[in-house]
Amino acid sequence: QGYASEMDNPSLGHLIPSALQNKKEILFGNLPEIYEFHNRHVGSGGCLAALAAIVIAAPFMWNAFLFFLQKEDLQIYEKYCQNKPRSEALWRQCGDSIFFQECQRKLDHKLSLDAYLLKPVQRITKYQLLLKEMLKCSKNSEGTAELEEALATVLDIIKSVNDSMHQIAITGYEGDVSELGKLLMQGSFNVWTDHKKGHNKVKDLARFKPMQRHLFLYTKMLLFCKKREENTDGHEKTASY
């Protein structure tokens, strides 16, 4: 909130990089929505780990915890992660600006903004770890089935997030990816193709080096993509397909 409000502060307007002008929603994504979600379910000073500890000690509170982990609510994380590459690209352009340095100084933060923007991505992973720990402590107890269902929900969200992150990296497809139907599966595979030698096809595929391809299986199409990694100004390589 501190950084976002400072972007509307007239006294700091002259420090805001031109690349950042009118791009608050790109930088922060739906972070305000996630913030409101946590305030609503955990409380302004609440701690998810503490909530899980209470639930482990008091099984009758499981329903309250499971309500907190409804799939519809957790999908806000998927939305956030879909925007993350755009947010990171914008941060690389202006993260070292005087504006952000001044904001960090005023807020007395030890870490820069990008560390906090990563928190929602890390949080969704923590949910599955908490649920797995709760299941360990509640074997053959009342509510175990509900916990297993909640874990399956969280894992499904994590898969959706992972799938989404790969899909938004598809850059060479000329059609509309959203028209291909639901993404059923995606991953890297070794692919062999038939080669011709004279008029005869060589069928012994073991004699040829496989090609690495990333496949996206939709309900209407199987999309073959070639992974391309590009350097981003000294940062980690980013993949596109």
Residues in Cβ contact with 107 at an 8 Å cutoff, skipping those fewer than 6 apart: 2, 3
Q: Judge if 178 and 73 occupy the same domain.
A: no
Q: Judge if 98 and 120 occupy the same domain.
A: yes
Query: What is the gyration radius of the CA atoms in the chain, in angstroms?
Result: 23
| Interstrand relation of 228-232 and 235-240 (parallel, antiparallel or unpaired) | antiparallel
Could you tell me the pLDDT band of residue 44, with boundaries at 50, 70 and 90? very low
Of 168, 185, 211, the domain-final residue: 168
Q: Judge if 88 and 195 occupy the same domain.
A: no
- Tokens in use for 3? 């950084």
pLDDT, position 69: 58
Q: Judge if 24 and 124 occupy the same domain.
A: yes
235, pLDDT greater than 50: no
pLDDT, one tens digit per residue, over 182-195 is 888 888 888 877 65
Q: Judge if 185 and 93 occupy the same domain.
A: no
Phi, psi of 135 (to 5 degrees): -65, -35
- Tokens in use for 25? 């929603």
Burial of residue 105, with CB atoms counted within 10 A of its CB: 0-12 exposed, 13-18 middle, 19 or more buried: exposed
48 membership: H or E segment, kind and range: helix 48-57
Range of the domain at 196: 172-241
pLDDT, one tens digit per residue, over 140-159 is 777 778 778 888 888 888 88
CA-closest candidate to residue 33, choices 4, 6, 73, 70: 73
Can you tell me the distance from the alpha carbon of 239 to that of 169, in angstroms, rounded to the nearest whole number?
Answer: 7
Q: Domain with 229 in it: what CATH number?
A: 2.30.29.30
Q: Judge if 45 and 103 occupy the same domain.
A: yes
Contact between 215 and 226 (Cβ < 8 Å): no
3-state helix, strand, coil split of the chain in percent (to 5) is: 55, 15, 25
Per the structure, how many domains does the chain have?
2
Q: Judge if 188 and 78 occupy the same domain.
A: no
Of 151, 168, 185, the domain-final residue: 168
State the pTM of this model.
0.68
Q: Judge if 188 and 130 occupy the same domain.
A: no
pLDDT, position 85: 82
Can you tell me the distance from the alpha carbon of 212 to that of 104, in angstroms, rounded to the nearest whole number?
Answer: 43
Q: Judge if 99 and 190 occupy the same domain.
A: no
Lowest-confidence region among 71-85, 130-144, 193-207, 217-231: 193-207
